[in-house]
Structure 1
């Protein structure tokens, strides 16, 4: 069946190319050629410079296979597929970005054909990317549309006819995805448009049912716990409810960190007690399972957190902060360890892995202790170059003037400097502990000697001396204190582009929270500042993160998937890395192979042929 105006595909292509060449200000009327919906979509596509080239289809593959939209659509799509059996019509579901997140093939033999048109899970069909199509256009236009043949903006889709409708959130009426019925251009039927509208309504009703189940469970928990004066928080992956006391502590960052913490718990009973380090409180947690199979949690905090412990926006000018932003995320446990170590008169050894923020935590603590001159910072790895030991004289003079000294990278201290290190410790111990009687009690505190070191890299002769003269403070790795990540990330993004600051989406923040951070805070800083400079003023999505962040939550493969993975790896090896040849040997389309490579976590070298 041809388009309603019986315009040949060649004439449609000519009209579209004419519009592209002449630009949006061209006054050519297309009413005799295409419907107003298609013309408006063409013009939108041109305005955002969508591509008509087949290679414009991006394989994103960034979605939750157990997400609520997929769960709501599953039974609807299965029902329509059974009803349309034998008609050659397939169904496609997209999320709000236009990414295909599910499909049902009406004819298995057509699978390769759809794959060649990139109509498979994980590919981006947004109108901004590939122009007019049956998934992206309903999202942009917020209404159902039928796109036939060459009415598609991208030539890869011209063999298809697609009728699609937007899916609205049942409460907010915000577009959260789309559903499309697609077939070969010779098989399309005008009823497909009505079918897409009906399928969309069915999915919206199913969404309301699923949402009501979770909302009811959360609401019931709130009623049971509402007599508590302490904060009560109910949350699932997408939503949060809280009482009045909980409003002061709740934020999108806390939601993300709590969800990551709770989803990893091993449940042995109905309730558990957990620690929330970012708030310095304990909480009693109860798990709630909804009818859709996902979980929600109800938390009752042990007390109302102190205002000082509630995460806040980083302000680099506040006392106790520094240019790294680490001071603004100064964990209570580290501050307590510094205070305890600082009760004695001798040196303090700050121990931790490289990049964990030892210097920055030290600066934050010293700044909070004394408003006097900044400390003298020396690096042990440079001391062999100081033949005249001028560093030692400078350090003694600083201590005599009441100025603290920080000696970094103590693991690189030459053996010849050990006696001078002991002498500096003696110098700080000889200072008066308190100002003499009659003097201002607000006078600066005595100078401190702080040594930063990586114990794993320290030679025995250094470790032995440190154990004799210094009280230790251990700085945990970033992977051990991931609750700091939201505050640190906000600061590093702000530092990268202060005038046009980027922010993190919830999914992107989850990607950061799940990474193991072998380079600690230094790695986080380099990552966020690079992203902030590359994407100023944007809400960073999971796709913007480096590849290794997007694979951290990969699930365990089933036995069947493991067998499939082994077969694909063997085919790639036998083809010498040629993915087209491997796909043919496996009996699947090349696009399907790309999709399975990503889904099964198969890493392929850059030199492999496409």
Structure 2
């Protein structure tokens, strides 16, 4: 057989010199290897080193070199259990397999997915090749580890942890030498362990130089999808702990384990135990397959651990993690049970409607856990108050630093967030400057209008959040930071993700806990409570008697839709203290749009019916009303709405709003 030029194994080796494959010489080397049971001297063998090493391992494992099929221990119900056990990996591979599978029709090739033991869990491709594969158990349930069937693309990729192709007579077993295959390992994005393989197999005629690159790209895509899903699940586990986990003391440590028994979250551990290193991220504390109850988990933990509480965490009705509460190193300072009377809020958030109370409770729990928080809500609902609440609950002795992402040019936002060294860019402060992350160390960093974060800056923000360290612009020095991040947005950030304007991984990293602040129109009697609260504020400020709101005014205030939310209500009360001469507020003292709502002419516009109006509709109306009220002064409009002028200009273009109202 003529020699053919084929690359050495691994995607990284594609840039190396081509390897000359000779079928006859390779077969002869294999036969000599079986006789001598040893690797021939380097330079005397035409076979690649990695293949020779694999042959040696195969021989040492007692593999039958004349075998013509892989073991097939899985049948019927066992295959169903196999698929269920690997459902996460199979679902993560669905997109890549669907896309590549369409290209393989009529190609004589098949694409294979295996678990970490080399057991096939999915196949797709040319029907004729799939049929041929069944004859050698290259099908779901077949075991293709190197210790089961010798040198092959699946087993050798698993064994070496590198992409590799195995062509024709390079296979160890005689019965599969008519096949060519290229395999690439799939690594767990969290701890980088090898959890599976993507393999492209077929008759020797399908060999192409790019086969290894193809499976390596597919493995990379599967890892990306797995990473996103794992990040989502870790965030949901933390939410589940915050919402229903066991109570803990302020000095107690918290450890969350995922379904594999690995540490995915830890807090306060240096204070809780001298063995804090045992709780490093990714460390496996228990083997979930060997425990069935919370008591068994407690018993299986390392001997130096005496958890005060162990609680399963359920997602969608299924146990997906475990929370451990590790007793602190001093006298117990356990918090009161949740049924205890509510404490006075350290931040003035007025109102007691159920939706607001739920948001406050979630913010408090997020503060306890030290989790990143995403606060969503319409313009004017008071999102920053929740950032202040998180700070006051857990880190009030440390800094509270705020930054409006929409108020800074894209050229400067990196320097503002991460800082810079001297001379890092034109206009940089001569002695360098710390960024907001460093200034907020041990405290809370509030990023308002996070949806305005430039896309090219989002990966750097994600890196800081994941590594808990910052690198100043122009500097390679790593500066550790301990910052609880609270991000605010009035956008539908998930829609921004779906439209490609915001990174999905950053979205889930920011939203470990997501708080939805209800709009004022959904808060019922809170409208009147807030009106009286603001009335008291301006009464004291201006040394005037409290305003009186007659029943017809109160009814109209409840009926109005408040597109500007709490900020609009506060501005109204301030305006009334300037305009009303006595104490009684009349309908004529109210803005025209409110009176129109009372008459029914604009009620449908001001207040949504059955949730029919979108957030964008309400935002547009709030901007139009504020421009009209401020007589076209856009500086005052931006200040009233609590947004930057660039953001206001962008929204005006979006909604086709004229600059000045006549």
Q: Provide TM-score, normalisation by structure 1.
A: 0.41
Q: Provide TM-score, normalisation by structure 2.
A: 0.38
Higher RCO, 1 or 2 (CA under 8 Å, sep at least 6)?
1
